[in-house]
Amino acid sequence: MSKIELITPGTVEYRILVTFLFNREPKKPSDLKKILNIPHSTLNSALERMSELLEWHKYGLVKLKEKGNMALEHIENHRHLIDIFLQDSLNIDKETAYDESIKLAPHFSCTLIRKLCERYPTCAQHVIHIPYFEQK
């Protein structure tokens, strides 16, 4: 099992990755520590485990690698399709659907997302497949 496969919703690694979802600029570890409310030792250990997704040197900025960007695209695809589903099927307003989709995305499996893709094919045209994020 690769280190990437261990990044699942609820883990510190997932939470670190999601901080890049809205702003992909490099971040200071101290800023991540504050955002996530975790000790530096926990953050440092998680960053080391995320070496396939992030570039980081002690006391330097944390930057996304290509695989990190791909992982974020995968997460954003989940969020986007859930957003569309909430608006279309449940008549939830755009702003509420967006906020709720952020909360729900970590809990939707790739299998369920595939079903949403089938239901909303025009919204799913840009969705990419990232095998190492498949739910087993």
pLDDT digits (tens, 9 = 90+) for 54-108: 999 888 999 999 999 988 888 888 898 899 899 988 999 999 999 999 889 888 8
Residue of 64, 69, 133 lying closest to 105 (CA atoms): 133
Would you say 16 and 50 are in contact if contact means Cβ atoms under 8 Å apart?
yes
What is the pLDDT, as a whole number, of residue 130? 41
DSSP letters, 103-129, are: HHGGGS-HHHHHHHHHHSTTTTTT---
pLDDT at 134 over 60: no
Cβ neighbors of 98 (< 8 A, separation 6 or more) are: 83
What is the pLDDT, as a whole number, of residue 127? 59
49 φψ region: left (φ > 0), alpha (ψ -120 to 50), beta (else): alpha
> In 10 A of CB 52, how many CB atoms?
15
pLDDT at 36 over 90: yes
pLDDT at 136 over 60: no
CATH numbers and ranges of domains, the chain: 4-64 (1.10.10.10), 68-131 (no CATH)
| DSSP annotation of 51 | T
Cβ neighbors of 42 (< 8 A, separation 6 or more) are: 12
pTM, two decimal places: 0.76
Would you say 102 and 117 are in contact if contact means Cβ atoms under 8 Å apart?
no
What is the pLDDT, as a whole number, of residue 47? 95
pLDDT at 113 over 50: yes
Place of tokens 């570890």: 29
pLDDT, average across residues 111-125 = 78
pLDDT classification of 25: cutoffs 50, 70, 90 = very high
